[in-house]
Structure 1
Amino acid sequence: MTPQAPPRVFQTPPVPPGVLAGAAELYVALHRDPELSGAEERTAARFAAALRTAGLDVTTGVGGHGVVGVLRNGPGPVVLIRAELDALPVREDTGLPYASTVTATARDGTPVPVMHACGHDAHLAALSGAAAALAGSADGWRGTLVAVGQPAEETLSGAAAMLADGLYTRFPAPSYALAQHVVPLPAGMVAHADGPLLAGSVTLEVLLHGRGGHAAAPQLAADPVITAAAVVMRLQTVVSRETGPGEPLVVTVGSVRAGTPGGGNVIADTATLEVTVRSFTDTGLERAVAAVRRIVRAEAAAAPEPAPPDPVVRVLSRSRPTVPDPAATGAVRRAHEAAFGAHRVARWQPSMATEDFALYGDAGLGLHGVPGVRTGYWMLGGTGPRQWAAAGGPGADAAGRLAALPANHSPLFAPHPRLTLETGIAAMAAAVRAALTMPAGVA
């Protein structure tokens, strides 16, 4: 009988101590001093300085506050790696010693708290660390690395702005574009999807007109709040009665505005809704948007005579579904399994969250004109061991723990710095090496 070999113990590939320390320093600085979409001036400067320290040729001000660093290392493929610069209008409640206390001015002039509640600070720090690690081991790979710090991801406008400003013409056009995103999985894990990873979305502003008047004489007015309420209720049928049970679709009315504070005795002239639809296919998105427009028109037509002006529906933002390239996904997954062990590489259940990364691939062909850019995208665990063990209480299973953990965009969202960065740096560097060695024409 042949003795079996002992099981192989996998560990995160060692990240040079200086690289990890630099990434951690950047992470703390970014987390403590976040900036909103389109205002990422200090964030961009810090990220650009980190890339320059790593030896990249850095350009700033691309598509707003976008940062592009280029590291040429002989002939070979061009691999683009991307992280996001912006934070969210969220008041931090983590209690961390480096918690944000920043307040910014919103577009309407009101002060708002700001927090890196989605992990973009970790993305930037891990990307800069991966760039530094690759620059320090340049004898082991050939090709060109393009490191991108993208502004305004949360408003789904930054990728398009950078591409419109010549990202693929002023800098080497990539064969591969890669990104990762922190989520409340155990730190040290990564997760890949088979097929769609994130949904596409369309956010609509709906302006409903009425005729204002006195609350004591509603028969003399046309109340747009009644129309808005009818629209909100009718929109629920887009999913429940117009969409097949096997087709994921989400319709959300995230904002309803009418009247003014203290105006309880006044019937308003207008009501405004913000409606977001989400689907894993472009066809599903278009069908849902058409349904929203149809319902808005129909409910507005039911207003009493004389008829108020027609409603106005305006697109505020749009994103394409994030569907990573199968070949790139397979290659990166295998690289992660080799680096971390298969037990630390999970399958990602497609999420209805959205972002604009798909534009770097064929979904953005009309913007950048470079066909065949293969995209790779994976999720990066950020929950520390103690937090994971305590989540959901004693005896909780994995699903219960995930449900109990603070999610992205929560004021309590707090990735474990060392484990998240250590794994994020190694995962990104391994993915770049995998992309650089993929044979041409792999399908």
Structure 2
Amino acid sequence: MDQHWQQVYRYLHAHPELSGVEYATADLVARELRSLPGWEVSAGIGGTGVLGVLRGAPGPVIWLRADMDALPVQEDTDLDYASTRPGIMHACGHDFHVAALLGACAALGAADGLPGTVVAIFQPAEETGSGAKAMLDDGLLDKVAHPSICFGQHVSPLPAGLILTRGGLLMAAADSIRVTLTGAGGHASTPHLAVDPLAMAASLVLRLQALTARQASLSAAPVLTAAALHAGERANIIADNAELLLSLRTFTSGSRRDMLEAIERIVAAEAKAAGAHREPVMEIFDSFPLTFNTPDDTERVMAQLTARGLTVLPLATPITGSEDFGLLGAAAGCPSVFWHIGGVDPSRFTAEHRQLLLDAGRLPSRLPANHSPRFAPDAGRSLPPAVAALVAAARSELDRAEQRSSA
């Protein structure tokens, strides 16, 4: 059966779909779930979300979540199952998440006497931070039993099967920011007659990088990245407008507030200093909450995963990546546990790499990371432990409740 889920992964990797339009992916998920004994299936939740429910004896309700969307990235791998869709790629491993959760659904459905209920949530639009909210807004909590605990995982450029997580704050909050600067266009030969928004934007990027440098002494310092700059189309034309896209990661609500206020102040000052004829516009979009693991539950579940043969290592500090998974547990008022699991051939890691990973969160520079056009998990080595991790987490909570009830 492992081979089947690897084939599912390869198919999904070759046929990626962007956030909110995961129609073929959702159809495949629903078909696969309906082919498994015991699973009840609902589709179209929050747009393209899919729910699977496996009912056992009265007991706890476990939610298992996987995201499904791809990214607007042109794939640059030599895989024989590389993306067939120009400019779209599963560059973050959500195809892997889907295959792993389907494999876990098959394993859980094959078990006898399930002491509780398992809900599999296949979520759209994680990359835009809107998918979990869309499913909740569409009545997710009214469609299935409220969870006793929520589990999720994310494949990362770690040794295959290695699990990293921590109790408490695990991942940063995130905001995407669009800054539109308006200058006064003109001829490239007479820049003194124009107000160049491209020069304004370039200066702004440097000032914003200095802003985050001043926060470096914080134990969980914010991260601000200028990821895109668009201005002009011809070498001899000074454009009227420039658009700058920023990504902000913060670890407290106070830090987020302070950073957004500082960015707005610096943007306004830069435009004024350049003599811009109009005030700049700053728009916040694609926001993600903090990802928080309930500490006691994380410690207990990770101990169970270790007891079942999986390798779990604790993270010393939170990760600067972001997720919308935390919205599910927060809305349901239940504990949540999320972890990162390796998807890379372990032979590509040395002992030094492992120590750097634990000490500073650094990965070998030659390994493509999530969102890279060269990122693709080694499914043959990493999919079986990813399936096992989901199954072990669910079974540990179901079996624990059963043992307590029979004591």
After TM superposition, the score normalised by the length of structure 2 is 0.90
1:378 positional shift? 0.9
Cα 1:270–1:397 change in 2 (3 A) is: closer
The whole-number CA distance in structure 2 between the counterparts of 1:219 and 1:42 is 54
On the 8 A contact 2:185/2:195 being kept in 1, the answer is yes
Structure 1 position 230 matched with structure 2 position 203: yes
Number of corresponding residues: 394
Alignment of 1:372-387 (within 5 A): 372-387=333-348
Aligned equivalent of 1:128: 102
Aligned equivalent of 1:332: 301
AA aligned opposite 1:86: D
Structure 1 position 83 matched with structure 2 position 45: no
The whole-number CA distance in structure 1 between the counterparts of 2:75 and 2:186 is 42
Aligned equivalent of 2:320: 352
1:242 positional shift? 4.9
Instruction: Please point out which of 412, 418, 432 is paired with 2:380.
Output: 418
Cα 1:438–1:375 change in 2 (3 A) is: farther
Cα 1:221–1:146 change in 2 (3 A) is: same
Cα 1:126–1:247 change in 2 (3 A) is: closer
The whole-number CA distance in structure 2 between the counterparts of 1:290 and 1:437 is 49
> Deviation digits for residues 232-257 of structure 1, max 9, x if unmatched?
12112221225644332111111111
AA aligned opposite 1:267: I
Q: Which runs of 5+ in 2 are unaligned?
A: 357-361, 403-407
Instruction: Please point out which of 216, 220, 242 is paired with 2:189.
Output: 216
1:385 positional shift? 3.9
Structure 1 stretches (4+) deviating beyond 6 angstroms? none
The whole-number CA distance in structure 1 between the counterparts of 2:34 and 2:181 is 51
Percent of aligned pairs with the same residue? Answer: 43
Cα 1:326–1:232 change in 2 (3 A) is: same
Alignment of 1:34-433 (within 5 A): 34-54=16-36, 55-103=38-86, 112=87, 114-139=88-113, 141-242=114-215, 244-260=217-233, 262=234, 264-304=235-275, 308-340=277-309, 344-348=311-315, 349-362=317-330, 365=331, 370=332, 372-388=333-349, 397-398=353-354, 399=356, 402-433=364-395
The whole-number CA distance in structure 2 between the counterparts of 1:169 and 1:397 is 46
> Deviation digits for residues 236-284 of structure 1, max 9, x if unmatched?
2221225644332111111111112x2x332221111111110222322
> Deviation digits for residues 195-233 of structure 1, max 9, x if unmatched?
322211111101111122233333333222232122212
- Which stretch of the first structure deviates more once superposed, 210-219 or 146-155? 210-219
The whole-number CA distance in structure 1 between the counterparts of 2:73 and 2:211 is 30
Cα 1:115–1:418 change in 2 (3 A) is: same
The whole-number CA distance in structure 1 between the counterparts of 2:140 and 2:401 is 25
Aligned equivalent of 1:32: 14
AA aligned opposite 1:135: G
The whole-number CA distance in structure 1 between the counterparts of 2:353 and 2:248 is 31
The whole-number CA distance in structure 1 between the counterparts of 2:52 and 2:302 is 25
AA aligned opposite 2:279: D
The whole-number CA distance in structure 1 between the counterparts of 2:251 and 2:112 is 39
The whole-number CA distance in structure 2 between the counterparts of 1:181 and 1:303 is 44
The whole-number CA distance in structure 1 between the counterparts of 2:263 and 2:12 is 39
Cα 1:241–1:412 change in 2 (3 A) is: closer
> Deviation digits for residues 381-433 of structure 1, max 9, x if unmatched?
111244447xxxxx864348733322222233232223312111111011012
- Which stretch of the first structure deviates more once superposed, 63-72 or 27-36? 27-36
Cα 1:375–1:268 change in 2 (3 A) is: same
On the 8 A contact 2:169/2:318 being kept in 1, the answer is yes
On the 8 A contact 1:73/1:138 being kept in 2, the answer is no
1:377 positional shift? 0.6
1:137 positional shift? 0.8
On the 8 A contact 2:167/2:299 being kept in 1, the answer is no
The whole-number CA distance in structure 2 between the counterparts of 1:401 and 1:352 is 14
On the 8 A contact 2:60/2:401 being kept in 1, the answer is no
SS at match of 1:256: strand
The whole-number CA distance in structure 2 between the counterparts of 1:240 and 1:87 is 32
On the 8 A contact 1:82/1:127 being kept in 2, the answer is yes
AA aligned opposite 2:337: G
On the 8 A contact 1:224/1:270 being kept in 2, the answer is yes
SS at match of 2:35: helix
Cα 1:50–1:280 change in 2 (3 A) is: same
Q: Which runs of 5+ in 1 are unaligned?
A: 1-17, 104-111, 390-394
Aligned equivalent of 1:22: 4
SS at match of 2:207: helix
1:319 positional shift? 0.5
